Amino acid sequence: PITRVWAREVLDSRGNPTVEAEITAGKDCVSAIAPSGASTGSHEALELRDGDARYNGKGVMKAVNNVRFSISKVIEGMDVQNLKAIDNAMISADGTPNKSKFGANATVAVSLAVAKAGAISKGVELHEYLSPGSYILPVPMMNILNGGKHAGSNLKIQEFMISPAGAATFADALRMGAEVYHELKSLLKKSYGVSAINIGDEGGFAPALDTTPEAMNIIMDAIEGAGYAPGRDVYMAMDAAASEFYADGSYTLDGKTLNAGELVDFYADLSRSYPLISLEDPVMEDDFETMTEMTKKLGSKLQLVGDDLFVTNTERLRRGIEADAGNALLLKVNQIGTVSEAIEAAELALKSNYAVMVSHRSGESEDTSIADIAVALGCGQIKTGAPARGERTSKYNRLLRIEEKLGQSAKYAGKSAFAALK
């Protein structure tokens, strides 16, 4: 049983405080850290911040104290291997639809720590604990060029990712990604000067580019320059995070103002010109209708991912599935607040023929739980930033270890992760 539940304030990768929870069961003491978004969806579970003088209002001592003195009372004494019962106990003690009493940053840190402690108490790896016999290594969707809220440029598209789906193993995919990343670095430096190789929140470069094609062209050059074939070895993916450049019915990007229909045409052009396989949040977070239209038009060749649209919430996802809005779920455990609920959302997606991409947040930590969650789900896709910076590489490196340990039974998802490439 769980004998002690504790928490403390630690720093995330942006230098903001976040919640670390610590679970003691038997002789094991196990911790996990809550991540934090910048371009958060308005339907996400609540991230509780203190709003006082410390850390410019961003302190999380209220959430920490909720773990120490409220959640502890609810789950101490429970069987550490019963994650679902523990998550449910937290959910009902919180009692709100969006975890606003305890804070999702409190519940997610506890839930992740309980999952890890359960695995340790059983003497198995976390992915094995969550899904015995899991063996599929995900394709890394590496964000090598950052824009939007994660950078300080005029680029409105938030994430430009590469996806080495043509690799044979996860380790090869990661190497290919890193080689392209370094090629991109030298091309950016040559074309735009040294300031172009400064980096954004997720470890990708944040050059002062103005338009989407400028970014995509130089990434194409980097893929080729590194010796790979775009559209065979390495594909491209984007997270537009379109709510961030939407206001009053229109979208402002690349020096233009577009309505939803024009924006869809803009993406259709991109998907004709580049080997784009995945596009996340192409329209603002409540526009299920345009998402449905777009899925009809482009869904057979393009994975359309709902992040702010679905917020890892089964109710919003169900609404999307009924409307054929998008064909993939972005899975962020802290958007919903517990591991059990996130897994439920993933299961609903997978059984409805939606793909699932497990995701980090722009504010991250050394915690690697999402790497195991991606393997456990067998969903074949993970995005956790550039192949650089410790809070990003910790996840990729964890996947290297899992692949090595699985040995012959490991299988890299590769192209099979994408309906359009099968």
Q: Active site residue: 332, 391, 395, 415, which one?
A: 332
Least Å from the CB of residue 117 to ligand PGA: 26
Beta bridge partners of 356: 329
- 360 appears as a binding residue in the annotation: yes
Residues forming beta bridges with residue 142, ordered by sequence position? 162
For 338-361, give one letter per residue: b (16+ CB within 10 A) or e: bbbbbbbbbebbeeeebbbbbbbb
Number of residues that bind ligand PGA (CB under 6 A): 10
Angle of CA points 80, 317, 111, to nearest 5° = 15
As a whole number of angstroms, the distance between CA 301 and CA 278 comes to: 9
Of 40 and 314, nearer to ligand PGA (C-beta) is: 40
Check whether 158 is labelled as a binding-site residue: yes
Note whether 239 binds Zn ion by CB under 5 A: yes
Q: Is 159 annotated as a binding residue?
A: yes
Among 20, 87, 201, 307, binds Zn ion (CB under 5 A): 307
Q: Is 392 in the site for ligand PGA (CB under 6 A)?
A: no
d(CA 419, CA 422): 5
269 Cβ contact partners less than 8 Å away, ≥ 6 residues apart: none
Provide the β-strand partners of residue 234: 230
Binding mask 237-276 for ligand PGA (x = CB under 6 A): --x-x-----------------------------------
Query: Is 296 a known active-site residue?
Result: no
Establish if 38 lies at the interface with ligand PGA (CB under 6 A). yes
> Does 202 participate in catalysis according to the annotation?
yes
Shortest distance (Å) from residue 119 CB to ligand PGA: 25
Output the smallest distance, CB 358 to ligand PGA, in A.
11
If contact means CB under 5 to 8 A according to the sort of partner, which of ligand PGA, Zn ion, none does residue 108 touch? none
CA-based nearest residue to 332, from 140, 135, 44 = 44
Query: Can residue 233 be called a binding residue for Zn ion (CB under 5 A)?
Result: no
* Least distance (Å) between residue 198 CB and ligand PGA: 18
Give the C-alpha separation, 45 to 282, whole Å: 22
DSSP string, 144-179: EEE-GGGSSSS--S-EEEEE-TT-SSHHHHHHHHHH
Q: Which does 31 bind (CB under 5 to 8 A by kind): ligand PGA, Zn ion, none?
A: none
What is the spatial distance between Cα 275 and Cα 387, in angstroms, rounded to a whole number?
Answer: 20
Tell me: does residue 361 bind ligand PGA (CB under 6 A).
yes
Q: Which residues pair with 21 in a beta bridge?
A: 7, 32
Query: Rounded to the nearest 10 degrees, what angle do helices 170-192 and 390-406 cross at?
Result: 150
361 assigned ligand-binding residue: yes
Draw the binding track, 265-304, toward Zn ion (x: CB under 5 A; -: no contact): ---------------x------------------------
Nearest CB to Zn ion, comparing residues 94 and 280: 280
Q: Which of 44, 202, 364, 403 is catalytic?
A: 202
Q: How far is the CB of 277 from Zn ion (least distance, A)?
A: 16
- Indicate the residue among 148 and 380 with the shorter CB distance to Zn ion: 148
Residue from 60, 64, 91 nearest 363 by CA: 60
- Cβ atoms 309, 320 nearer than 8 A: yes
Catalytic residues: 202, 332
Binding residues for (2R)-2-phosphoglycerate: 158, 332, 361-362, 383
> Under the rule (CB under 6 A), what is the footprint of ligand PGA?
37-40, 239, 241, 307, 359, 361-362
